[in-house]
């Protein structure tokens, strides 16, 4: 059986710089920073007091009161993004067999809001006061389950939990499912809502978060003064579709997904392998899968978390994977805009790549001031570039040594 081609026909996003794809992309182009003081809880006794929160999100505008009692915030965000993606794709029961539409919406952590809330109930009020909805609200697969139920998607439905690589792994696995004929369409992406007391404290105490309170110098990927990432929240969902199926229903095609690579560092639970060896293998595998040579890659949306170790190791990984072309390729991180969306990062960043391919605009790395000789790539500092690009690569790396890369191509008939 010949491999099928896979295209993107719908997108949805809710992010700290825009609550839909259009506003998110405007935020990228306008160099907006979505980081600010934490408002979702009293952070006065925390080491870290800033995060990249979603603005002006009113759940009651999207869900009935009864539903809200059954949905953790991470599921709410996934459903909002998925609804936008479905509307954008124009998929419906008339033009698509819904039993062949899959769902892979992943999360790194799951329902942390509800875990904390119900643990307080247990400690303060006793076991009988723990909600009967506690488990179905918190388990990590419920974002994908709720999206499938909400939209009537009856194909394969599961989630990939690989920490901050979850969103990219989801897209990659969806790509394989369609390419090999198991599904016609897959809604794929990631969601995260972990700006909670234990979420912030846990990442702060492992020394992963920036304790900088100046929001313009907190999430500064590849900058020599970077000191950690800034927690973000949000969701991104892409509609992946088999090319002939998309053409048959006259769908709008935004880009083609042509390559996917994944690897394991098998090294350490939080630190990347020396020299970014695992990340380099993921990139090489993705380029091989796409049947392209390194010189064809025009732009890389880096994982670029703004932690000292990640950005250094990812730089080394890009040099290993792209060899001489690493001196020419444009590499930026949009985490200066959104903070780090953990399991949602890869999905939202894939959307940024698709928009970059569509519009010929390369996103900048904002907040960049101090050059780091160990991160000596073209990081597109502070100003985006109007440049026609044919291939874009998106990297994600997760705790546990999980690496994933996708390659997207500008759509041409």
Of the residues 303, 313, 353, 402, which is catalytic? 303
Cα angle: 243, vertex 14, 115; to 5 degrees? 115
pLDDT at 281: 98
**pTM of the full structure:** 0.97
| pLDDT above 90 for 191 | yes
Pairing of the two strands 391-398 and 402-410: antiparallel
pLDDT at 413: 74
| pLDDT above 90 for 402 | yes
* Pairwise CA distance, residues 100 & 90, whole Å: 16
* Pairwise CA distance, residues 376 & 18, whole Å: 31
* Pairwise CA distance, residues 215 & 344, whole Å: 21
Q: pLDDT, tens digit, for every residue of 2-21?
A: 899 999 999 999 999 999 99
Calculate mean pLDDT across residues 374-382: 98
Of the residues 169, 245, 340, 402, which is catalytic? 340
* Pairwise CA distance, residues 255 & 197, whole Å: 39
Q: pLDDT, tens digit, for every residue of 105-117?
A: 999 999 999 999 9
Q: Is 245 a catalytic residue?
A: no
Contact 179/95 with Cβ under 8 angstroms?
no
pLDDT at 1: 61
| pLDDT above 90 for 329 | yes
141-145-146-149 Cα dihedral, nearest 10 degrees: 180
Contact 143/112 with Cβ under 8 angstroms?
no
363-367-370-373 Cα dihedral, nearest 10 degrees: -30
pLDDT at 185: 98
Tokens 């002006």 sit on residue: 56
Token code pair at residue 398? 């997760």
**Three-state secondary structure readout of 299-314:** EEECCCCCCHHHHHHH
Q: Which letter, b or e, does each residue of 142-162 get, where b requires 16 or more Cβ atoms within 10 Å of its Cβ?
A: bbbbbbbebbebebbbebbbb
Residue in 393, 394, 403 with CA at minimum distance from that of residue 298: 393
Q: Is 402 a catalytic residue?
A: no
Q: pLDDT, tens digit, for every residue of 211-236?
A: 998 999 999 999 999 999 999 999 99
Pairing of the two strands 101-106 and 185-192: parallel
Arithmetic mean of pLDDT over the chain: 97
Q: pLDDT, tens digit, for every residue of 45-56?
A: 999 999 999 999
Q: Is 164 a catalytic residue?
A: yes
pLDDT at 198: 98
Residue % of the chain over a pLDDT of 90: 97
Q: Could you give all domains of the chain from N- to C-terminal order, each with its CATH number?
A: 6-248 (3.40.47.10), 260-410 (3.40.47.10)
Phi, psi of 116 (to 5 degrees): -65, -45
Q: pLDDT, tens digit, for every residue of 128-139?
A: 999 999 999 999
pLDDT at 2: 83
Contact 194/38 with Cβ under 8 angstroms?
no
pLDDT at 132: 96
pLDDT at 391: 98
Calculate mean pLDDT across residues 175-191: 98
Of the residues 33, 159, 164, 375, which is catalytic? 164
DSSP state at residue 5: P
Q: Which residues lie closer than 8 Å to 132 by C-beta, 6 or more apart?
A: none
Q: With H, G, I as helix, E, B as strand and everything else as coil, classify residue 14.
A: strand
Q: pLDDT, tens digit, for every residue of 60-105?
A: 999 999 999 999 999 999 999 999 999 999 999 999 999 999 999 9
How many CA within 13 A on the CB side of residue 150? 27
């Amino acid at each position: 059986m010949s491999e099928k081609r896979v295209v993107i026909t719908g997108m949805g996003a809710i992010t700290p710089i825009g609550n839909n794809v259009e506003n998110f992309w405007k935020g990228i182009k306008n160099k907006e920073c979505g980081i600010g003081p934490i408002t979702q809880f009293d952070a006065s006794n925390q080491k870290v007091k800033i995060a990249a929160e979603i603005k002006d999100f009113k759940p009651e505008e999207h869900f009935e009161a009864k539903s809200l009692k059954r949905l953790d915030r991470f599921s709410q965000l996934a459903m909002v993004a998925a609804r936008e993606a479905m509307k954008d794709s124009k998929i419906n029961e008339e033009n698509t067999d819904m039993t062949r539409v899959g769902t892979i919406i992943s999360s790194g952590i799951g329902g942390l809001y509800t875990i904390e809330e119900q643990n307080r109930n247990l400690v303060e009020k006793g076991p009988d006061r723990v909600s009967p909805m506690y488990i179905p609200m918190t388990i990590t697969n419920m974002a994908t389950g709720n999206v499938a139920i909400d939209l009537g998607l009856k194909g394969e439905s599961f989630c990939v939990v690989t920490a901050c690589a979850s969103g990219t792994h989801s897209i990659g696995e969806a790509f394989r499912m369609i390419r090999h004929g198991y599904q016609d369409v897959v809604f794929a992406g990631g969601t995260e809502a972990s700006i909670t007391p234990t979420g912030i404290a846990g990442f702060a105490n492992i020394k992963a978060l920036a304790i900088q309170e100046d929001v313009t110098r907190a999430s500064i990927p590849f900058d020599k003064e970077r000191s950690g990432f800034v927690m973000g929240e949000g969701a991104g969902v892409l509609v992946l579709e088999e090319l002939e199926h998309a053409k048959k229903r006259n769908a709008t095609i935004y880009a083609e997904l042509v390559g996917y690579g994944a690897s394991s560092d098998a090294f350490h639970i939080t630190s990347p392998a020396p020299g970014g060896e695992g990340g380099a293998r993921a990139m090489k595998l993705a380029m091989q899968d796409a049947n392209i040579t390194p010189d064809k890659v025009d732009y890389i949306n880096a994982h670029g978390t703004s932690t000292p170790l990640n950005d250094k190791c990812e730089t080394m990984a890009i040099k290993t994977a792209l060899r001489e072309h690493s001196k020419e390729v444009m590499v930026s991180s949009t985490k200066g805009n959104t903070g780090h969306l953990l399991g949602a990062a890869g999905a939202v960043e894939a959307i940024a790549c698709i928009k970059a391919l569509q519009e010929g605009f390369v996103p900048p790395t904002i907040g960049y001031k101090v050059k780091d000789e160990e991160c000596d790539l073209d990081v597109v500092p502070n100003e985006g570039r109007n440049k026609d690009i044919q291939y874009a690569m998106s990297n994600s790396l997760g705790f546990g040594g999980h690496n994933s890369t996708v390659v997207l191509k500008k759509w041409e008939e």
